Amino acid sequence: MPSYTPPIADFEFLMFDVLEIEKHADLRGYAELDRATVHDVLEGAGKFMSEVLQPLNQSGDEEGCHFENGVVRTPKGFKEAYKAYCESGWNRLGVPEQFGGAGLPILLTFAVAEMGSSANQAFSMYPGLTSAAYSALLATGAPWMREHVASKMIAGEWTGTMCLTEPHCGTDLRLMKTKAVEQPDGTYRLSGTKIFISGGDHDLTPNIIHMVIAKIPDENGKIRDDLSTVNFFMVPKFLVSEDGKMGARNGVSTGSIEKKMGIKANATAVLNFDEAVAWRLGPKPQPKPAEPSAKKSSSAGMSGMFGMMNAARLGVGVQGVAVAEVAYQNAAAYAKERLVGRSLTGPKAPDKPADPEIVHPDVRRMLLFARTAAEGGRALATFISFNLGVASSNRSAEEKQTAADIGDLLTPVIKAFCTDMGFDAANAAMQVFGGHGYIRDHGMEQFVRDSRINQTYEGANGVQALDLVGRKLARNGGRAPFALFKMINDFLAAETGDAMKPFVAPVKKGLDCLQEATVWLAENGLKNPDNAGAASVDYLRMFGLVTVGYLWARIAKAALAKLAAKPANAAFYEAKLISARFWMERMMPDTASLSERIKAGADTLMTLDAANF
């Protein structure tokens, strides 16, 4: 059975030595983030995740969820673990205190979320999606929903979902067919089918609050294939009165649960809505004429839906980091124990029949890749969460705007880049086990299977790349990328010491490639949008390599400063420098080849007739 040790020291290093959060006590919630408090939260959460959730990961995968006679049951132990999770308060760390939470900033809740996903990704999705759902209700719901519905979700009494995808419609919401018809009492009757709904039905709580997008028919009763009538709704499994009491079963039923490659302990459901009572979220939109030119949704509640989706995308990026971490830990432990062959430079364990696997350079390459993917991704998540904290602070308008721009810009990057890295890291870690990685006993193949979904859901990674290239780069005249590039350039220009040269020079080369590719896209993507589409995935990967490379350089700077004080745990900081060097030597050079692929354009991709594929 695999094991998991929460990387508490790494979280604390990033927070206190790299970001130096003690210098930012003015940010909301940061005044309470002293070292002792942060350590206690991380240690307590890590203990729960590793001792309660992690032992259920492999057994939950083997048992899976059950669907019998229209009822969904989670694997053995999940119901009890969920109750304990909520009673311990891990589900509401970031909730404002006035709503019953601890009011901790996202900087710390991201860390706890990562540990939960490392321990048991399938389990962690239940409270994770609930958090996204109640956050949307707090932002856009009516007062009675915030008081009586969101409060029960925050307490863990009820859970929540996101219901977006339909059998014929994933990312392209224009093609949605689910409709909601207004009733005289102001509610709606919602009908349609949603698929791939994570946590869509289960036995963890008596009620599930579905957050659903649907179209309101125009005055002619027609559903149009555009976004003009897309709205956001709350649809509970069991009806809820305005005083919070649970009533009769709503018109929501489970058609099936998916037979999946991974995350088998999370019930991914097909949900059928049949005249279900629904409450539209946000102020009532003004009616618009049924002209075909209407494109944008008239629902003010859609901001809540997009907020929920963005939070989910950040969360999935953290899941990519989480699987890289736990896969690396188990592969490193195995490589130090498994005897296989002799070192190329002579026996390292002459008293044994063979040397441990870790003596071999290629094994170390795979391990260092997985390690730097996890630690670099963690640094990216921490960096983004810090900027989100600045964006919601009382600092100057300019500083808040820059932080918000960077957080928005990097949302598709963390989702796509960190889930790609997470899958690749899990795959490399499985390879370290050789044939033993392919069988179920060691649990490595589960990490590969579970992590694969992270590249697909909450907007497939190709969609994230199109979002970055097609929307985020040019928004507000390119204000966000210019701000990030300036931040990196300013850091590089300031680090002129010899000790930092191995870390500064590679990032500078990578940044030059990234800026050159950005200019190329601006010039060639406008001429031919297919050029932007063809370049998008490579561009996002380059963006991730450079941004994480910048963060590795900051990590190296902090590690050098700590080593200068001759600490007792010098090995921790020395390992950081080795990991940073690996990223610079083995990962940053990819920016040059990615640049060439980007500039190849779309001609070759688009020339072959579809019939010849």
Active site residues: 458
Residue (of 319, 542, 543) closest to 423 by Cα position: 319
Structural tokens at position 200 = 């869509």
- Rounded distance, CA 429 to CA 189, Å? 49
Q: Which residues of 169-189 are buried (b: 16+ CB within 10 A; e: fewer)?
A: bbeebeebebbbeeeeeebbb
Residue (of 122, 31, 114) closest to 77 by Cα position: 122
Tell me phi and psi for residue 125, to 5 degrees.
Answer: -70, -30
Residue type, 461: N
Tell me phi and psi for residue 14, to 5 degrees.
Answer: -65, -45
One-character DSSP codes across 162-231: EE--BTTBSS-GGG---EEEE-TTS-EEEEEEEEEEET-S-SSSSEEEEEEEEEPP-TTSPPPSSSTTEE
DSSP 455: G
The answer to whether 269 and 257 are in contact (CB under 8 A) is yes
The angle, 0 to 180 degrees and rounded to 10, between the axes of the packed helices 529-564 and 479-494 is: 30
Residues 171, 455, 439, 73, Cα dihedral to 10°? -50
Pairing verdict, β 230-236 and 252-257: unpaired
Beta bridge partners of 72: 67
Residue indicated by tokens 């745990």:
569
Contacts of 559 (CB under 8 A, 6+ apart): 573, 574, 576, 577, 580
Residue (of 189, 442, 204) closest to 337 by Cα position: 442
- Rounded distance, CA 186 to CA 572, Å? 60
Determine the 3-state secondary structure of 250 from DSSP: coil
Strand (E) or helix (H) holding 280: strand 268-280
- Rounded distance, CA 263 to CA 125, Å? 9
